[in-house]
Amino acid sequence: MDRRLFLAATLGTFAAPRAVAQTAPITRWKVTSSEGHDAIAFLGPLSGEALYQKFYAEDAKAFPLPDPVRSEIAALWKEAGTSGFGLLGPVLSSKISGTDVSTLDAVIAALADPETRIRPSLRQSPYWDEAEWKWLAANAPRLVAVFTAMRDADFPGFRNARSGEIASRIPQLQRDLAPFDVVRLQQKLTGRSFSPEIEVVLLQFCKPHGIKVQGQTFLQAADWNLAITVRNAAHEMLHPPILMDGAVAKAALAVLARDPLIPRIVREHDPKWGYTSLDGYLNEDMVQALDQLISERLGVARNPADRWRDNDDGIHVLAAGLYGMLRQDRWSDTGGAIEAWLDRATRTGRLSPTNLHSVAARILERPMDRLWPL
């Protein structure tokens, strides 16, 4: 499984959001927090990875963890990446989220018995992958030792001292989200059914990631504002946008594999952004195209050219092309089955480099021959 599930949030400025609802919203919002997911997220800062230091360098330095444990976290992080498991913190949260992870003790208990506590729900979820499971099961004892050391260093108390605003943020965000009918638009633009409830889990240590986990739940930083939260919800619940091992996805991937640019982006971009397989890139960029349409309807969108220039070193050229084609088809107005739309686009040649690059260039406001790298 590629890192298609994780969105580096865009922290740009925008006009004040407006909730658009002519009828009573069907979306039900649930805002919570989780010590356990925060402990998993804090592995990023403790690993020493540069991606997290701009946000949490002082926190990582202040946490009284022995140097051998820090070295073990760094080793686990690197091994997870090289093995194909992916970004250790975000992926672990997705794998373990089918069981209780409300506290650090619950995380330790789950990892101490992964076969009983983690595997059953994971096996039934979209996050199941045999190779990734083998890596997790083999390294669960090492993770138990790390999290036990974090408990011994009083991570719960350390987190509480730094997350005082989460308690007041939860009811405030719960109220502010109420008018935003994300689920209604997701159903309209995909032709799929969704549960009405979206759970937002506020964390102290997860930047820059918004993380989709099992169910209609995602994790995000507690201090991200309302518009970012709505955009994250519009995005994260859509994964995967279609059946990624189905005939439609395979046909689209076969066309994209022959594109002179798209596979090169997948191969050559900085792997810290994820999306290092073509199917993962298609998954992510279809979702980004759809969430842009949803965000526009809800009044929380960024300008698409700015968004896709600033995000992930500009790699989401495919998202811009798909979004542009959906705009041409007035998909926000008509809606429908997105898998059927992709099937038609593939069969009629709209995914060909000539058309895809031309549409993307107009959206991104770049010349066709300089779509990427920036």
Quote helix, strand, coil % in the chain, to nearest 5.
Answer: 60, 5, 35
> pTM for this one?
0.86
User: Over 240-305, what HEC string results?
Assistant: CCCCCCCHHHHHHHHHHHCCCCHHHHHHHCCHHHCCCCHHHHHHHHHHHHHHHHHHHHHCCCCCHH
Predicted local distance difference test score (pLDDT) of residue 5: 41
3-state per-residue secondary structure call for 174-217: HHHHCCCCHHHHHHHHHCCCCCCEEEEEEECCCCCEEEEECCCE
Per residue in 106-135, pLDDT (tens digit) is: 999 999 999 999 999 999 998 999 999 999
* pLDDT single digits (tens) 61-112: 999 999 999 999 999 999 999 998 989 999 999 999 999 999 999 999 999 9
What pLDDT is attached to residue 276?
A: 87
Tens of pLDDT, residue by residue over 328-352, are 999 999 999 999 999 999 999 999 9
Rg (CA), the chain: 20
Q: Of 282, 281, 262, 283, whose CA–CA distance to 273 is shortest?
A: 281
Say whether pLDDT at 22 is over 60.
no
Give the pLDDT confidence of 25-72 residue by residue, as tens digits.
999 999 999 999 999 999 999 999 999 999 999 999 999 999 999 999
Query: pLDDT at position 8, please?
Result: 40
Residue 31 in tokens: 């805002």
The pLDDT of residue 318 is above 90: yes
The pLDDT score that the predictor gives to residue 13 is: 38
DSSP for 13-77, please give it.
--PPP----SS----EEEEEE-HHHHHHHTHHHHHT-HHHHHHHHHHHHHS---HHHHHHHHHHH
Q: Which residues of 163-183 are buried (b: 16+ CB within 10 A; e: fewer)?
A: beebeebbeebeebbebbbbb
| Mean pLDDT score of the chain | 93
